[in-house]
Amino acid sequence: MGRGYSRDVSKPLDKRTVLVAGGAGFIGSNFIRYLLDAEPGVRVVNFDLLTYAGNVRNNAEVEEDPRYRFVRGDIADDADVSGVFADSAIDVVVNFAAETHVDRSIEDAAPFVRTNVMGTACLLEHARRAGVSRYVQISTDEVYGSLGERGAFREDTPLEPNNPYAATKAGADLLVLAEARTHGAPALITRCSNNYGPMQFPEKFIPLMVANAMEDRPVPVYGDGSNRREWIYVDDHSRGVWEAVDKGRAGEVYNIGGGREMANVDLARMVLDELGKPASLIEFVTDRPGHDLRYAIDCSRIEREWGWSARWDFTDGIRATVEWYRTHPDWVREVRDGSYRAYYERHYTHRNATLTSFR
Ligand code: NAD
Ligand code: DAU
């Protein structure tokens, strides 16, 4: 039997050990870099299954850092999660681990239900037994559904997810809130708008456009391109998540947003322009079923309560992102042809990492 939520919370935040689930993905890896840079006293355990979307190359900058450890494991596997909690005295859990691509969830919802719902339940269970001092669930504005022409999602906007991915993220959010209310978990949720930046898997809109356009291949835009998304540079999201660990209150939801809303077709033109490629590369393709029309986030709560605000200007962020992909053609090639998996086997076999072979 575990202790339940009894851990001493007086331990200074910057001396804690943070379990980052999903830390080999796009946002989780950015968060780990941010955290190790911002907080010299923290230790990080990166717990990641390394699905197709997980790439240990994303952690290359920190892998020699003595405060960093990688453990391969599945958040939905009781033995894996039990093992990582037994190995390290975890103080804080930040859960980025998820199946994240809407189009894949439309093809097959099963892995989304398993990881996003069952995995969250499993992590919560072990976090309770370990008596962690904080659990942060990384959620998404997609749980609120779709907006019309006006307005923005607030934290009290009802949950109306429209696609399987969003439905599983909403299910996970409800489990987190239930854990806080039923068991007194020090757990809270952040819901963020669309992220962009370096190392995003090139199935997502912005890196897909950049990767295709760099090879003069068509850039697919769903429907007529009028769907709108609100964009945030990933560094701003990471900073918001650490503020959530520090300043968030148990059982609460906090929206994080970048404030820059744009129609997809306008974004496509902007990215192509930045790459010096013609707008004629845009190819309008069959729309995504149930495609949400518009997302926009009201994040005035964290601006007011935490003093957080997005720092990245959108034009600068797109420029930095395009530049990163332009200067890292190997990363894109290896992700696209799958050879980063061979790199993983080679690189980690002789290192201090908990390994099982690739599933
Ligand atoms: P990603 O797909 O790039 O990374 C997901 C990571 O989770 C990968 O490293 C993968 O290997 C790992 N993972 C998947 N299943 C796992 C499992 N069962 N056990 C352990 N690890 C597993 O995703 P991302 O874009 O970095 O998103 C991270 C989180 O942020 C997700 O929870 C997502 O819902 C949320 N989010 C993303 C965005 C966005 O725009 N990308 C916006 C808001 C919220
Ligand atoms: O809003 C937050 C969400 O943003 C996260 O929770 C998800 O994990 C993340 O994947 C993202 O979801 P979206 O569906 O908004 O992102 P995606 O990059 O897939 O698509 C962005 C927009 O671009 C969306 O309106 C669909 C459109 N699109 C996407 C692709 C892949 C295209 O027009 N063409 C494409 O090829």
State the CATH number of the domain containing residue 134: 3.40.50.720
Q: What is the pLDDT of residue 12?
A: 76
Domain assignment present for 90: yes
Give 29 Cα–ligand 1 centroid separation in angstroms: 10
* Residue 105 CB partners (closer than 8 Å, separation 6+): 99, 112, 163, 164, 165, 168
Query: CA geometry: angle at 207 spanning 272 and 25, to 5°?
Result: 165
Which residue out of 39, 80, 91, 141 is catalytically annotated? Answer: 141
Task: Give distance in angstroms: CA of 286 to centre of ligand 1.
Answer: 26
Whole-angstrom Cα Rg for the chain: 20
Confidence at residue 356, expressed as pLDDT on a 0 to 100 scale: 38
Per-residue pLDDT 10s for the chain (359 aa) are 345 775 555 677 778 999 999 999 999 999 999 999 999 999 999 999 999 999 999 999 999 999 999 999 999 999 999 999 999 999 999 999 999 999 999 999 999 999 999 999 999 999 999 999 999 999 999 999 999 999 999 999 999 999 999 999 999 999 999 999 999 999 999 999 999 999 999 999 999 999 999 999 999 999 999 999 999 999 999 999 999 999 999 999 999 999 999 999 999 999 999 999 999 999 999 999 999 999 999 999 999 999 999 999 999 999 999 999 999 999 999 898 876 666 566 655 554 444 433 33
Q: Is 56 in the pocket of ligand 1 (CB under 6 A)?
A: no
Note down the domain range covering 65.
14-196+231-259+291-312+340-351
pLDDT at 358: 33
Q: Is 147 helix (H, G, I), strand (E, B) or coil?
A: coil
If one counts the domains in the chain, the total is 1
Residues 6+ apart with CB under 8 A from 218: 212, 281, 282, 283
In a domain? residue 34:
yes
Q: Per the domain annotation, does 65 fall within a domain?
A: yes
State the pTM of this model.
0.95
165 assigned to active site? yes
Within 6 Å (CB) of ligand 2, which residues are found? Answer: 100-102, 140-142, 193-194, 204-205, 208, 220-222, 227, 229, 264, 288, 295
In a domain, 203, yes or no: no
Catalytic residue among 48, 91, 142, 236: 142
Probe ligand 2: pick from 27, 194, 224, 228, max atoms within 8 Å of CB? 194
Rounded to the nearest whole angstrom, what is the distance from the C-alpha of residue 171 to the centroid of ligand 1? 16
Q: Is residue 209 part of a domain?
A: no
As a whole number, the mean pLDDT across the chain is 93
Q: How far is CA 91 from CA 20, 141, 152, 224, 286, in A?
A: 11, 27, 34, 47, 47
Angle of helix 329-337 relative to helix 205-214, nearest 10 degrees? Answer: 110
For residue 169, tell me if it sits in a domain.
yes
Contact 196, 263 (CB under 8 A): no
pLDDT of residue 15: 80
Helix (H) or strand (E) holding 174: helix 164-183
